[in-house]
């Protein structure tokens, strides 16, 4: 009898915050706009709850990807920063972990950097300053510093007294005419998976941009490796299909998505010699947007211009039912 009573009362032990998060999360999976409106309505009644701010943040962050004009994108990103800041201040450790907040915040930071760069190029000083001021208060690493130090344009070629002679890179993507079928993304990859590209032209464009920039810095251009391409395309598709954003591969255990194997362990399944860097991005539909996002992030920039790297794989995948739509993966190796 005591056991039965415990089961009956247990659902009511959930806090108001947890019940709100569960309710909004369920609705967000079905209809993001309805979840957004409900979150605003809940906020109007109770400003102490963190969950409604989180779901507003998600919607604003997603909408910023759909905006083409930098000034409009800046307004939406400003709203994402405001709601994200409110969420961060009010959320407890459980919610911050549950939402993978560190990853979500970093993704927003990179979007803000890209937008600030556009605004600066357009000389839209008022919008630039407004977004810069908001971002400076929200992020521990001030994004505008990156924009001021590194322009989006390709680095200008410098005239060196000594020119290094490099082996011409392989620019051709692997000839894949068929792709793996019946792949269960809930399980770990075998390393034998292969997929056709959804946009090989954009994949090629990003590599060409990078190789031109590497040459301007007297670095060996990267050769496209078929196995690294398979590794990149797999992870891009896996993130979209399983709806997560992380270097660590996620798999389902008892129906619940959980972390499985690390990036380099996964890459080694496709490329036994092992990789040495990986960049991921989400929400960008073009190579230019993705290149600029990575170029303006110190960690990603270091991977792109890694002196030891000689081979590269790139992959992009789009799933309209995923949280960010587009997912990009870039990985390199030295041998």
Residue for token digits 């990003």?
A: 206
pLDDT: is 31 or 158 the higher one? 31
The angle at the Cα of 334, spanning 332 to 335, to the nearest 5 degrees, equals 120
Q: Which two tokens stand for residue 220?
A: 């060996």
> Taking 50 as the threshold, does the pLDDT of residue 274 lie above it?
yes
8-state DSSP, 158: P
d(CA 215, CA 263) in angstroms, rounded, equals: 27
The angle at the Cα of 136, spanning 132 to 138, to the nearest 5 degrees, equals 120
Q: Which two tokens stand for residue 208?
A: 């060409």
pLDDT for the residue numbered 296: 82
pLDDT for the residue numbered 82: 95
d(CA 305, CA 309) in angstroms, rounded, equals: 8
Q: Which two tokens stand for residue 255?
A: 């129906």
d(CA 66, CA 46) in angstroms, rounded, equals: 30
pLDDT: is 71 or 145 the higher one? 71
> Taking 60 as the threshold, does the pLDDT of residue 193 lie above it?
yes
Residue 259 three-state SS: strand
- pTM, 2 dp: 0.57
User: In this predicted model, what pLDDT tens digit does every residue of 288-323 receive, in sequence order?
Assistant: 999 998 988 877 888 899 988 999 999 999 999 998
Rounded to 10 deg, the angle between the 51-66 and 32-45 helix axes is 140
Q: What is the total residue count of the chain?
A: 335
- Label residue 146 left, alpha or beta by phi (over 0 means left) and psi (-120 to 50 means alpha): alpha
User: pLDDT-based confidence at 176, cuts 50/70/90?
Assistant: low
d(CA 12, CA 10) in angstroms, rounded, equals: 5
User: How do 277-282 and 326-333 pair as beta strands?
Assistant: antiparallel
> Taking 90 as the threshold, does the pLDDT of residue 54 lie above it?
yes
Radius of gyration of the chain (CA): 22
Q: Percent of the chain at pLDDT above 70? A: 83
> Taking 50 as the threshold, does the pLDDT of residue 1 lie above it?
no
Mean pLDDT of the chain: 82
User: In this predicted model, what pLDDT tens digit does every residue of 255-267 receive, in sequence order?
Assistant: 788 888 888 899 9
pLDDT for the residue numbered 187: 85
Q: Which two tokens stand for residue 62?
A: 């997603």
Q: Which residues pair with 314 in a beta bridge?
A: 330
pLDDT for the residue numbered 181: 65
Average pLDDT in the 123-149 region?
Answer: 71
Give, for 286, the enclosing helix (H) or strand (E): none
pLDDT for the residue numbered 95: 86
HSE of 95, CA atoms in CB hemisphere, 13 A: 23
């Amino acid at each position: 009898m005591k056991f039965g009573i415990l089961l009956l009362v247990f659902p009511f032990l959930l806090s108001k915050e947890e019940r709100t998060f569960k309710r909004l999360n369920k609705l967000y999976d079905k209809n993001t706009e309805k979840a957004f409106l409900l979150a605003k309505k809940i906020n109007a009644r109770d400003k102490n709850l963190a969950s409604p701010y989180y779901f507003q943040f998600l919607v604003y962050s997603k909408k910023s990807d759909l905006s083409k004009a930098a000034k409009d994108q800046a307004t939406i990103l400003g709203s994402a920063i405001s709601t994200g800041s409110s969420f961060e201040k009010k959320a407890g450790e459980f919610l911050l972990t549950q939402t993978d907040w560190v990853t979500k915040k970093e993704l927003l930071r990179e979007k803000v950097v890209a937008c600030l760069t556009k605004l600066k190029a357009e000389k839209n000083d008022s919008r630039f300053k407004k977004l810069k001021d908001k971002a400076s208060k929200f992020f521990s690493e001030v994004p505008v510093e990156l924009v001021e130090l590194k322009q989006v344009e390709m680095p200008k070629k410098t005239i060196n007294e000594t020119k290094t002679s490099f082996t011409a890179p392989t620019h051709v993507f692997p000839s894949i005419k068929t792709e793996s079928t019946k792949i269960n993304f809930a399980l770990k990859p075998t390393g034998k998976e292969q997929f056709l590209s959804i946009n090989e032209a954009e994949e090629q464009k990003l590599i060409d941009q990078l190789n031109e920039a590497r040459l301007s810095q007297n670095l060996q251009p990267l050769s496209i490796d078929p196995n690294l391409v398979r590794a990149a395309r797999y992870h891009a598709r896996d993130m979209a299909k399983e709806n997560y954003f992380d270097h660590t591969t996620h798999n389902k255990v008892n129906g619940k998505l959980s972390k499985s194997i690390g990036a380099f362990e996964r890459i080694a399944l496709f490329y036994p010699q092992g990789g040495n860097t990986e960049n991921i991005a989400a929400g960008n539909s073009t190579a230019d947007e993705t290149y600029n996002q990575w170029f303006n992030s110190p960690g990603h920039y270091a991977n792109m211009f890694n002196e030891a790297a000689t081979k590269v794989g790139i992959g992009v995948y789009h799933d309209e039912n995923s949280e960010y739509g587009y997912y990009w993966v870039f990985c390199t190796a030295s041998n």
